[in-house]
Amino acid sequence: MEPKRTNRPLLVQGLKTMGLTLVLLFLGPFLLHAGLSNPDKPLHIPLVVVGIGGCGTAIYKGFRGIKIIMDSIFK
């Protein structure tokens, strides 16, 4: 019986997803703060919407990346 090994391509995919999550974890709140701190500017609403979307995407990608990494190690 062959011992179980880590699926390296899947692990790399999970690490790339976590890298994107790291970028979104900084970019989302930055855009949200920029949008909320300037309510008189014309880009107020689009920055808030993109910031909230970035924060939500970061949360989703974070959970997805952890799941991919766990699948690569334990399956």
Contact between residue 21 and residue 69 where contact means Cβ atoms under 8 Å apart: no
Give the separation between CA 21 and CA 6, rounded to whole angstroms: 22
Residue 51 tokens read as 């910031």
pLDDT of residue 27: 95
pLDDT of residue 5: 84
- The residue behind tokens 């924060």 is 55
pLDDT of residue 10: 93
Degrees to nearest 5, angle at CA 16 with 62 and 3? 95
Give the separation between CA 38 and CA 13, rounded to whole angstroms: 38
At 12-43, the pLDDT tens digits run 999 999 999 999 999 999 999 999 998 888 88
At 48-57, the pLDDT tens digits run 999 999 999 9
Predicted confidence (pLDDT) at residue 4 exceeds the cutoff of 90: no
